[in-house]
Structure 1
Amino acid sequence: MNAILLYFRYISVSFRSQMQYKVSFLLQLVGHLLGTVVEFFGIWALFSRFNNIGTWTLAEVALFYGMVNISFACADALGKGFDSFTKIIRNGDFDRLLLRPRTTVLQLLGTEFTLKRIGRFSQGIVVMAWSLSTLHIPFTLKTLWLLGTSFIGSVALFVGIVIVQATLTFWTIESLEIMNILTYGGVETAQYPLSIYSKWFQRFFTFLIPLGCVSYFPLLAVLQKEDTFLVPLWLCYVSPMAGILFLVVALQLWKVGERYYCSTGS
């Protein structure tokens, strides 16, 4: 409980610091909002030209787009400390975190809660609401469970990927840009149904990086398409747990990385 209260204390400090320059904050928020609007405009242009992708319509794809964007916006806001870990470890600031009587994970999660991600989050919510309204999907307990677990699992997965990226920095010092394939590349991938990709690509983002488990399978059940793609209904309900398991594994890898950490010596 003390750790949770301390985390919210960290977050409140982060909020106040970001709101010191309100105009700058508003401009960044609008910039993120417009950037994601342009992204969805590209998807709309694709469907206006070809009408559909396989059996998928624009409204159906919009559900995938909205879910992955609100999830990534939250994960990106939560994991900013891990995302900027390269600078922390290169400057020797990680030594200070180790001296404090709190876990380094808690301190890094509380480094900054990036408010400007509200722009991406808001746009994702609007797109998802439009999709659900257009497809006439009722807000039943089943639908709320699938959407809620998909959101939680997706956030956990993206935070886990960022933690893995930060963990590798213990050995490489510099952040590996190839990991962006799994973060930003994962967002681009999950904006469309996984079934449109090649088989090897589907397996990679299902069994190695469980992106399909947290976003594709539960949304299939929301769209009532699980029978079309021969996916068991029970799998759609439990598959988002893979995102939480991935986060647990990432945290264990982080502990291993901490043991091999060597100070800058400066």
Structure 2
Amino acid sequence: MKLYFNYLLILFKSQMQYRASFWLLSLGQFFVPFSVFAGLYFLFERFGQIQGWSFYEVALSFGIIHMAFAISECFARGFDAFSSLVAGGDFDRLLVRPRSTVVQVMGSKFEFTRIGRLAQSLIVLVWAIASLPIEWTAVKIVTLLLMIVSGVFIFTGIFMLAATLCFWTIQGLEVANIFTDGGREMAQYPLNIYQKWVTRFFTFVIPFGCVNYLPLLHLLDKTEGSGIPYMLAPIAGILFLIPCLLVWQIGVRHYRSTGS
């Protein structure tokens, strides 16, 4: 991890060489998601609620999932841009270094301008929390933190799986955006508003439901019986990274260079 933080520091210094550009891009990242949130607001302004969910309850889900995506996009951006390493033959250099390829790829690119998107998500999250009559306890605070961490792990895992495809396709496939950008847009709403097959897929295959829906029921006291399974549901999102790492290792073993 010392190597990872060295990468972090070097890339941060390089991006701060053009501070005006950095802050303008961060400002843009702050305002762009507001258009999505505005659409959410007007939707509830027109219909009042969706499947029994109020505006602030969905805003809480919105803030959590967008915060997780912003953090993941900042610190795991190397996987999203991995195709350029494969196409240019630069991944060969990473293989001969005595360090994990995961750490090196993650450290190859950081998007610190995503701090604007993170700030916007934090504002929505705080606003939603302040507007909901939630009786906060230590357990619920831990659950909220687990939801954010779990979301970061899921998005990082999806970025990793998309990068693994590059070992066979050279270039990244746009279809992966269905599960990154599409997953973010889908997961900003509680899963029970979708059809059952969608809910099952994004609970048992890609466990977004363990980030926003199941633990959200616990936070809002909408559970029946013990709330422990709902509270621990985000752990499934964290464990999602394990098969992603295994698939990545399979891809690395099958890598045959680009010949450049």
CA-atom RMSD, angstroms?
Answer: 1.1
1:150 aligns with 2:144: no
Matches within 5 A, 1:95-114: 95-114=92-111
Paired letter, 1:236: Y
For 2:57, which of 56, 60, 84 is the aligned residue?
60
Letter in 2 for 1:26: W
Q: Any unmatched runs of 5+ in structure 1? A: none
Matched, 1:120 2:117: yes
Counterparts of residues 30-49 of structure 1 (less than 5 Å): 30-49=27-46
| Residue in structure 2 matched with residue 192 of structure 1 by the alignment | 189
Q: 1:257 aligns with which of 240, 251, 254?
A: 251
- 2:132 and 2:231 mapped to 1: Cα distance? 20
Superposition pairs for residues 64-213 of structure 1, below 5 Å? Answer: 64-213=61-210
Q: Which amino acid aligns with 2:213?
A: Y
The alignment status of 1:9 with 2:6, answered yes or no, reads yes
The offset of 1:6, in angstroms, is 1.4
Letter in 1 for 2:7: Y
- The one of 218, 243, 254 equivalent to 2:237 is 243
Shift in Å, 1:18 = 0.9
| Residues 35-73 of structure 1, C-alpha deviations (whole Å, 9 max, x = no match) | 111110110011111111121110100000000000000
- CA offset digits 1:117-171 (Å, max 9, x no partner): 1111111111111111111324320211110111111110110010000011101
User: In 1, distance between residues paired with 2:149 and 2:202?
Assistant: 17
Task: Indicate the SS of the match to 1:225.
Answer: coil
1:50-108, Cα deviation, whole Å (9 max, x unpaired): 11112111010000000000000001111111100111100000001111111111111
- Runs of 5+ unmatched residues, structure 2: none
Letter in 2 for 1:54: Q
| Aligned counterparts of 2:226 and 2:121: Cα–Cα separation in 1 | 28
Contact kept in structure 1, 2:69 and 2:152, CA below 8 Å:
yes
Alpha-carbon shift at residue 232 of structure 1 (Å): 5.3
CA distance in 2, matches of 1:136, 1:203: 29
Identity of matched residues, % = 46
The one-letter code sitting in structure 2 at the alignment partner of 1:238 is L
Letter in 2 for 1:257: G
TM-score of the superposition, structure 2-length normalised? 0.97
Report how many residues are paired.
Answer: 260
Is the 8 Å Cα contact of residues 188 and 212 (structure 2) preserved in structure 1? no
